[in-house]
Amino acid sequence: MEITQQVDAVLAELHRRLKHHPKPIRVLENELGVAEGFFRKQRHSRSVDLGFLFKAFRHMGIDPYELFSTVFGGSIVDRLPIRADVLPGEDETLKFLAEQRREQP
């Protein structure tokens, strides 16, 4: 997804959640206004200042990682740009570490 599409997707999810948010609506409107203003601005820039974004989410009582995984699906790994799962090559140490992780409780 392009950055602009990502921002739109996050914004849509944010709106959906805030409809059911327990906080008084006026407070929410202010917070949403701040977040929206931020999103709109970032939409036109080439990158998103995630530090600020995460702070805004936390302020609204929303866990950013949970929100992102809802919007983008699954774990951080699914959003990484390199397709590591299909890359050629194997390594014994990597296999060993994977096995060790499986064995450890």
3 three-state secondary structure? helix
CB of 38: closest distance to other proteins in angstroms? Answer: 14
For residues 80, 60, 51, 6, the Cα torsion angle rounded to the nearest 10 degrees is 40
Q: Minimum distance between the CB of residue 105 and other proteins, rounded to whole angstroms?
A: 8
How far is the C-alpha of 96 from the C-alpha of 71, rounded, in Å? 34
Q: Does 89 engage in binding with other proteins (CB under 8 A)? A: yes
Q: Is 80 in the site for other proteins (CB under 8 A)?
A: yes
- Considering only residues 22, 26, 46, 73, which one is a binding residue for other proteins as defined by CB under 8 A? 46
**Are the C-beta atoms of residues 87 and 65 closer than 8 Å to each other?**
no
Does residue number 20 form part of the binding site for other proteins (CB under 8 A)?
no
76: contact with other proteins by CB under 8 A: yes
CB nearer other proteins, residue 28 or residue 79? 79
